[in-house]
Structure 1
Amino acid sequence: MPTAFKVALFIGSLLFTINHGWALLTGHMTSERWISGGLTYIVPYMVSIHGQYIGRKGRVAKNLN
């Protein structure tokens, strides 16, 4: 989980800046934008967790053979 958190923080911040930075700076953040901004962090977190799970599952399968 610590790795996934770091990935989400870095990638999420990058994507948040690209997608919502101007709206944040100009005060045009709506509730819909804040929800979207939250998902901007959650999605990279979940992708990282999934990737780690698949990677570990593959290593365990190799060790069993």
Structure 2
Amino acid sequence: MSAIAAFSQTCRDRRALMAALRVALFVGTLLFTINHGWAAANGQMTRSRWISALLTYCVPFLVSLHGQSMARSRLPATDNIPSAPLGTDREPTEL
């Protein structure tokens, strides 16, 4: 599967989007606190800082989707491509 087709398919996958959203909320909040925490706490958030803060959440969201789509594009071409992010739809194995 081509990388573009895999990314397009990943963007339509609800489970992949939810996983990317969780990553964005966690990583974005961490980065927001590091980069803008002082300004937010002291009421010094300017328009450009708010735009930067928005991008702070967008970047991990898109990186997560990209990683999931790259993993999906490397799967063998079959009809049973998983619709969930890799590793989340497997049954637990016994040792």
- Common fold: TM-score over 0.5: yes
Point out where structure 2 has 5 or more consecutive residues left out of the alignment: 1-16, 79-95
Secondary structure of the residue that 1:46 maps to in structure 2?
Answer: helix
Q: Which runs of 4+ in 1 moved over 2 A?
A: none
Cα offset, 1:60, TM superposition: 3.0
Higher share in helix: 1
Q: Establish whether residue 25 from structure 1 lines up as the match of residue 41 from structure 2.
A: yes
* Rg larger for: 2
Secondary structure of the residue that 2:68 maps to in structure 1?
Answer: helix
Point out where structure 1 has 5 or more consecutive residues left out of the alignment: none
Q: CA RMSD in A?
A: 1.0
Identity of aligned residues (%): 56
- Alignment-derived partner of residue 52 in structure 1: 68
* Paired AA for residue 20 in structure 1: H
- Alignment-derived partner of residue 34 in structure 1: 50
Instruction: Please give the alpha-carbon distance, in whole angstroms, between the structure 2 residues aligned to 1:43 and 1:24.
Output: 20
Return the TM-score normalized by structure 1: 0.91
Secondary structure of the residue that 1:28 maps to in structure 2?
Answer: coil
Count of matched residue positions in the alignment of Structure 1 and Structure 2 = 62
- Alignment-derived partner of residue 10 in structure 1: 26
Instruction: Please give the alpha-carbon distance, in whole angstroms, between the structure 2 residues aligned to 1:19 and 1:27.
Output: 14
